[in-house]
Amino acid sequence: MWFTRRIEHCQVCGTPVEQKVPEGDNRDRAVCPGCGHVHYVNPLNVVGTLPVWEDQVLLCRRNIEPRKGFWTLPAGFMELGETTEEGAGRETDEEAGARIEMQGLYCVLNVVSAGQVHFFYRARLLDTEFAPGPETIEARLFREDEIPWDELAFRTVRMTLQRYFEERQTGQFGVYCADIR
């Protein structure tokens, strides 16, 4: 889980909120007893890529919590004003300084417990010169037999890599949808 979001105080007036079902609604919300504001918390999109160079994939070693020191595919929270694919490309640039050509949507993973949806795109690396940003300790290429499976940061990264290495044997890549509860 990258983080949890629980509203404690009203974002309008600062009053401590109450958890209750607003009239006409069907689930608990953070409702302000002061000004009546209802806070809606909805899932966040995490967008990233699976960058490939010949028989190797690019992983980044995280320089930030959570899971600092563990390996991940370049990914992060989608920003306003961008598409999922644009966000995935931006994160790849920010975290790895890698130049890529997008090859299409690959994984849509519902991380229900964290309130997130993770989107990974397959991407072809245009060269092997990387320039990791401050959120990354190291960016490097791994062959399948070198993947640090026990040091991967997130389950969605593991699922995406496992799927990729399975499908690579056939040369056919579909779109993989799965749920983590």
Which residues of this chain interact with Zn ion, rule CB under 5 A?
10, 12-13, 15, 32, 34-35, 37
- The residue among 30 and 98 lying less far from Zn ion, judged by its C-beta, is 30
Nearest distance, CB of residue 18 and Zn ion, angstroms: 11
- The residue among 32 and 123 lying less far from Zn ion, judged by its C-beta, is 32
How many helical (H) and strand (E) elements, i.e. helices and strands, does the chain have? 2, 11
CB 100 within 8 Å of CB 92 = yes
HEC assignment per residue over 128-140:
CCCCCCCCEEEEE
Tell me how far apart the alpha carbons of residues 171 and 118 are, in angstroms, rounded to a whole number. 23
Nearest distance, CB of residue 27 and Zn ion, angstroms: 20
- The residue among 9 and 124 lying less far from Zn ion, judged by its C-beta, is 9
Residue 157, phi then psi, degrees to nearest 5: -70, -45
Nearest distance, CB of residue 9 and Zn ion, angstroms: 8
